[in-house]
Amino acid sequence: MSTIFKRMWQAFRDKEYRDIYTEGFSNSKIATQIKVLREQRGWTQQQLAEAAGMKQSRIATLEDVNYSSWSIRTLRRLAETFDLWLDVEFKEFGAVWPQLQDFNRESLTRHSFADDPAFKEGAVERVQTIQDKGVTSALSC
């Protein structure tokens, strides 16, 4: 474990610290992912705003890593615009470590439904084959 992670591990023992830290990380992750998804699609803030029925200034605010007044309704609206689904969940604090290590542009990109490999021609048959092999393997144990 690196020195920085050792220090954070120690600091996380303080409830106030971990609450502040994880809120800031969550805000940064949401804002950054909105920007990454927009750029992945080759959209300007104005184009995203028009597609989502918002103003460009609103998109700029949502892409600000210091923004913290998220609403589920707005995030769902963006998810629909990106043709994605929004997943909100409660997590244990230990889940922050892998997310911190994998926090990069690539980890934040997502395929719209039309480009989702799981819904490409033949995907259902591939998944079914994998599931069938898993069931067969499980039954033979």
3-state secondary structure the chain: CCHHHHHHHHHCCCHHHHHHHHHHHHHHHHHHHHHHHHHHCCCCHHHHHHHHCCCHHHHHHHCCCCCCCCCHHHHHHHHHHHCCCCCCCCCCHHHHHHHHHCCCHHHHCCCCHHHCHHHCCCHHHHHHHHHHHHHHHHHHC
Residues 96 and 125 in one domain: no
Residues 28 and 84 in one domain: yes
Q: Which domain holds residue 25?
A: 3-110
Residues 62 and 131 in one domain: no
At residue 4, does pLDDT exceed 60?
yes
Count of domains observed in the chain: 2
Residue 64: give its domain's CATH number. Answer: 1.10.260.40
* pLDDT, tens digit (0-9, with 9 covering 90-100), for 38-81: 999 999 999 999 999 999 999 999 999 999 999 999 999 999 99
Residues 136 and 117 in one domain: yes
* pLDDT, tens digit (0-9, with 9 covering 90-100), for 66-123: 999 999 999 999 999 999 999 999 999 888 888 888 889 999 999 999 999 888 876 6
At residue 5, does pLDDT exceed 90?
no
Residues 60 and 93 in one domain: yes
| Res 62: pLDDT | 98
| Res 139: pLDDT | 42
| Res 133: pLDDT | 67
